[in-house]
Structure 1
Amino acid sequence: MKLIDRPKYGPLFRFGDYHVYKALSVLSDGRRKGRKQVADRIGVGEGSMRTILDHLREEGLVDIKQTGIKISKKGQEFIGQFPLQVYVLDAPDITLGQCSVAVQVKGAASRIGSGMEQRDQAIKAGADGATTIVVKGEKLTVPVDYDLDTDRPEIAGAIRRLFDLTDGDVIIIGTSADLQQAEEGALAAALALL
């Protein structure tokens, strides 16, 4: 799912769908916030933040006043449509980086091949890598046939405690030395599945 299109003319944006999603997520508590405060939270400059907010305002997803930025009712409904859950995860056994962020994508198992596509998306977004886990029946598997329940029951248990899993769900664990980069990688890979 593309949240923002590339510009037809001029320089490319220095942000991606992750930053647009994260901006809405940061604003989803309903409180007014300043542009700089939101920019700092999502890791973009104020110029990029201005462009993101202009786009969100054009779509009717945020309300911008002199007192700050607030998500609109339409924005709340829009962000509520995303079948994503995000958690920080301690999984050094199956991931590369020091920091790991896990994202659940409901019902996306049919769109998973080898898991390399998600890894590549995460790396493009700045993470060190990503591990994809698919829920097949009662089992957690890493494509193509690595059984997480049998081979790493402690990791499988940690994932089950974090998420309400159903058959066909996908968990993408983004990893990096930096927590924000791990989250950006995991969410970029997850958003590409939608």
Structure 2
Amino acid sequence: MRKNIQILQDIVSRKGSSKVLTFSIPHVFKALQLLDKEGFVSRATFAKEIHLGEGAVKTLILHLKKAGIAESTKSGTFLTEKGKKLTNQIKNTITKECKVKKSSIIQGKYNHAILLKKYSKMIKTGIEQRDYAILYGSSGCTTMIYKNEKLVFPGNERECFPRDAKTKKYIIENLCPHEEDVIIISSSDDPFVAEISAKNAALWTIAIG
């Protein structure tokens, strides 16, 4: 999986250009998810969904093309076979995402959860994930592990929702975790920031794992 993250890193490299890019790895991942879901994606849709300006969208598409990840026609931009393979490999690790309502330990107005398959051994205390989320504007980030049919905090294995069965049930039903899976939930007053910061925390967990 590290190789796949390196591919995303290469896509956001300026590659000798002096132009400062306004998108980064989590934006590229969201673009791949959008292409995977929709098939063909217009520049206007990219701009709306990834919160980028017209110039940044053009540059993003150009970098995807140079990497052999995507191509474009009048119908829009689409994934190449290489792009489909890359996206599917990442999806095998980042299998599900969902929004989570505010609760006793998840305090954001908007909260975005991401599941990482079998990554519990790569998690120390959750502080690293919080730091990667904060880089993208997160107001807080909670990391938990699914173990023995419970959601527990890394390190001390204390149960996350001892008195909140509703939130626990919602997360389990929507993310479908299995033993030793990791769930990262990032919070913000803005839904896009909550999502993009959660993506950054998840992707860098994979990169350093």
Match of 1:45 in 2: 53
Give the counterpart letter for 1:57 in structure 2.
Answer: K
Aligned counterparts of 2:113 and 2:102: Cα–Cα separation in 1: 10
Shift of residue 134 of structure 1? Answer: 0.9
Aligned counterparts of 2:39 and 2:126: Cα–Cα separation in 1: 38
Shift of residue 151 of structure 1? Answer: 4.3
SS in 2 for 1:103: strand
Match of 2:65 in 1: 57
TM-score after normalising by structure 1: 0.91
Show CA shifts across 1:72-126 (max 9, x none): 2332221111111111111432123101111001011111111111111111012
Matches within 5 A, 1:15-54: 15-54=23-62
Matches within 5 A, 1:120-131: 120-131=131-142
Shift of residue 8 of structure 1? Answer: 5.7
Match of 2:79 in 1: 71
Give the counterpart letter for 1:40 in structure 2.
Answer: K
Match of 1:193 in 2: 205
1:109 aligns with 2:120: yes
Aligned mate of 2:162, from 147, 150, 157: 150
Shift of residue 54 of structure 1? Answer: 1.5
SS in 2 for 1:63: strand
Show CA shifts across 1:126-157 (max 9, x none): 22121001122322112332212534333222
Structure 1 residues 8 and 28: CA distance shift in structure 2, 3 A:
closer
1:178 aligns with 2:190: yes
- Paired residues of 2:103 and 2:167 also in contact (CA < 8 A): no
- Paired residues of 1:32 and 1:68 also in contact (CA < 8 A): yes
Structure 2 alignment gaps of length 5 or more: none
- Paired residues of 2:145 and 2:182 also in contact (CA < 8 A): yes
CA RMSD of aligned residues (A): 1.8
Overall identity of the aligned pairs, in %: 30
More helix by share: 2
Shift of residue 166 of structure 1? Answer: 1.3
TM-score after normalising by structure 2: 0.85
